[in-house]
Amino acid sequence: MEVLRFQQACLAFGTHPVLDKVDFSLFSGERVCLVGRNGAGKSTFLKVLTGQQSLDDGQVVLPSGVVLSRLEQDPPAKMDTRIADFIREGAGDLADKLQQFYQLSDALDADNAQQMRRFEQLQAELDSRDGWSLEARVTALCQQFAMEPEANLASLSGGWLRKAALARALVAKPDILLLDEPTNHLDIAAIQWLEGFLKEFKGAIIFISHDRAFIRALATRIIDLDRGQLTSHPGDYQQYLDRKQKILEDEQQHNALFDKKLAEEEVWIRQGIKARRTRNEGRVRALKALRKERAARVDSLGKVEFAIEQAERSGKLVFEAKQLSHSFGGEPLLNKLDLLVMRGDRLALIGPNGVGKSTLIKLLLGELEPEQGMIKRGSNLEVAYFDQHRQALDLDATVQDNVADGRQEVMQNGQSRHVLSYLQDFLFPPARSRTPVRALSGGEKNRLLLARLFAKPSNLLILDEPTNDLDVETLELLEDILQQYQGTVILVSHDREFVNNTVTSSLLFAGRGTIVDITGGYDDVVRWQSQQADKAPKTARIEPPAEVPVKKADKDTGATERKLSFKEKRELEQLPALIETLETQLAELQQQVNAPDFFASPIEQTQAVLNQLAELESKLAHAYERWEILEA
């Protein structure tokens, strides 16, 4: 069933066409990915659907009764509110209508005709919009996403805020769900949860994403927005890439033939007096038509072109850490880590948000002092640091001043180059180069930060979430550049395909300070985790370790330790296997709870699983506590 249609939609900003007589239909159950270069107008396309942007011509047709909802990309402006209230707001005025109905029903006067008409109007609207189940839907969504309804939004991390925003978008029971870069700032576990959830969504989805693994997993059709034209590509992402390459090659060949013919006609029209006396007026009119067609042609944007300015080679050793330990708020982030980074290594740091990846980078660079252990830094290190929060950019300065610090020239490969010429390699034309940074889009800011970094010599490149907001073409070029880079690369990214294509080894942050060194990229990490899960015992009986009181040190005698009893020694030997078994069972239960259809089961079943999950968490915490006591 068709749930949305564009008819000859036209929209332009100045001379820049965003939509040029676009026709498009969306059908129920489709998961459509909207792709295109940064600045092509993808977010504007979604704004047209939500009514935030009007068309210059044409129309958007939504059948009667079709509900459309959008997952907001930015975090909520008001954080001091309950999760349940935030989700309920996604239903628009429905909550207010429901409250009005109950207030009116309490004070209803059957003899008051005006009150009775309003009562009937509210009742009819609540019937048609399923308003009676609103509170039940809010409660069910909180349960489904494992969120506490009374908790405050301010207490949620970035990933949980995105889940709350998704619940807010779903409470209206939309037929069409719009997602703008839904994976930005989510860790890999959250991205995979989102993939699974969206696959179970029964309505239609239009989403914008540059995460190629996410697109491959989710999209049933690709629509490509390029210079105002919207082209539909049925099938998977790889089929789209093959077709797009063929289209661009055909277009390039056609334009080359056209330009050759135009050049020949321009030579003819400029021939001498004799030729002009005998010239064919029809041929002159044809030349004017060719000129008009060439003027109307919208050329594709140039390709991003950049190279990293490389410094002299660093020493063979880049970093060496021994028995490195660090914690935050009492939680261990690093526990006796031994790490060796050599020149030319390309290392990915993989793990959920808040597990300590950025902390390790700061420790290696000397921005933080470790609580325990030592770090040896190599000689002649020239560091280029890509910060995910873009703190290196001066928002009030222009693009060119951010790169050249007020100068007109930058050095590249030992040669002086004008900054405006250099910035054109990053798709910043001269007019855009003189724009204040705060006026740029997210993708443009990331391109600018790359331009700033690559203009300075480096032999150690640290990239913290460089892929956010970058279009696919720029991502692929960045991958190629990193593969050719002769220095050392340390990368933090939740883009699985980018990690696979750029690194040679990975550090997996497994939690509670445990870090595992794995050869290869993200797929190799997944294989290692699968192998570990296969090795873990599945049916071991879980018994809490015996409570054995630990005698405190005798202050009077100055004693600082005591010998373990035979029973305590035996307990200490068994604790690692117990902890591993508990963690495996906990992971299995958590996966069961995260399943999209889990909370559709009867409350008795779901509550039993949740109780078991809480019991396992308690046992695991107790086991860790006993291990720490006995180890000490």
Binding site, annotated residues: 36-43, 351-358
Distance CA 64, CA 293 (A): 41
Distance CA 353, CA 288 (A): 60
Distance CA 8, CA 20 (A): 8
Contact 136, 173 (CB under 8 A): no
Helix 472-484 and helix 442-454: axis angle, to 10°? 20
Q: Token digits for 297? A: 């042609």
Which residues fall within 8 angstroms of residue 623, CB to CB, at 6 or more apart?
A: 544, 545, 575, 578, 579, 582
Distance CA 578, CA 542 (A): 8
Q: Token digits for 168? A: 């807010």
Residue 10: count of CB within 10 angstroms of its CB: 15
The end-to-end CA distance of the chain, in Å, is 66
| DSSP type of residue 199 | H
Please report the DSSP string for 224-242 in residue order. Answer: EEETTEEEEEES-HHHHHH
Residue 3: count of CB within 10 angstroms of its CB: 21
Which amino acid appears at position 147 of this protein? M
Contact 241, 224 (CB under 8 A): no
Known binding-site residue numbers for ATP: 36-43, 351-358
